[in-house]
Amino acid sequence: MGIALVTGGSRGIGRATALQLAGEGYTVAVNYHHNIQAATGVVEAITEQGGRAFAVRADISDESQVMAMFDAIDRTGEPLTALVNNAGILFQQCTIEDLDASRINRVLATNVTGYFLCCREAVKRMSHRHGGQGGAIVNVSSAASRLGAPGEYVDYAASKGAVDTLTTGLALEVAAQGIRVNGVRPGLIYTEMHASGGEPGRVDRVKSALPMQRGGQPEEVAQAIVWLLSEKASYVTGSFLELAGGK
């Protein structure tokens, strides 16, 4: 099956995805930025369930660190066949009056530039044009790209709009090279990300406004990602799955 790289695989949606991909038979490269303990915990959980995984540190917004991460994957000798661009950040909820260039650029550097860099390196390895055996990419976007996150983090929402356009454009660019590129747009999912916005309990505060009246679990998003990467989705590219409880 080859290697599946999951950026931000150490917790939340990335962690759930890494565990499920290992169960499907991939060797999982668990990328993380700061928390080596969490990443090692995912590798151990995968190993305990009989799978194969290794942790790889890289700040995806830093081109040299991204290159080093892909070099480390190459050194395993196993081909990269799947990429889940999942690592993402947001900051304290605010309105536009409190947004400054430094924050906006940090959000875009990770959520957009980081996704581009990882896509570029994955395409170089997967593409038939470069002698690769093909592969699949899933970009984790957000329902915020449709809804805009007003009064919370429009900068984050806009970064996810860019991710969606990347997914559409890249899917068309590499469709004839054996690579499928799709996106998922989660809604309110129970992870630690909401604490970064200053409201750890955000999902429970707003869930009653959702058609399904509940938040989602990381595993529910992971299932969609795993399906999009699988042969069961062999004729699907440039598509988006909404995982937002109907919103």
Task: Give residues in contact with ligand NAP (CB under 6 A).
Answer: 7-8, 10-14, 31-35, 38, 59-61, 86-89, 110, 114, 140, 142, 186, 188-189, 191-193
Alpha helix (H) ranges present in 9-97? Answer: 12-24, 36-48, 63-75
Q: Which of 26, 115, 153, 156 is catalytic?
A: 156
User: Closest CB to ligand NAP among 123 and 163?
Assistant: 163
Query: Which residue's CB atom is positioned nearest to ligand NAP?
Result: 12
CB of 159 within 8 A of CB of 114? no
Q: How far is the CB of 60 from ligand NAP (least distance, A)?
A: 4
Q: State the Cα–Cα distance between residues 203 and 194, nearest whole angstrom.
A: 8
Supply 89's token pair: 């950040």
**Residues whose CB falls within 8 Å of the CB of residue 191, separated by 6 or more in sequence, listed in order:** 11, 12, 13, 218
User: Closest CB to ligand NAP among 38 and 119?
Assistant: 38
Q: How far is the CB of 235 from ligand NAP (least distance, A)?
A: 25
114-126 helix and 63-75 helix, angle to the nearest 10 degrees: 30
Task: Judge whether 156 counts as a catalytic residue.
Answer: yes
Q: How far is the CB of 191 from ligand NAP (least distance, A)?
A: 3
User: Closest CB to ligand NAP among 134 and 148?
Assistant: 148
Q: How far is the CB of 124 from ligand NAP (least distance, A)?
A: 20
DSSP character for 131? T
User: Closest CB to ligand NAP among 90 and 132?
Assistant: 90
157 by Cβ neighbours in 10 Å (0-12 / 13-18 / 19+) ranks as buried
Catalytic residues, which ones?
156
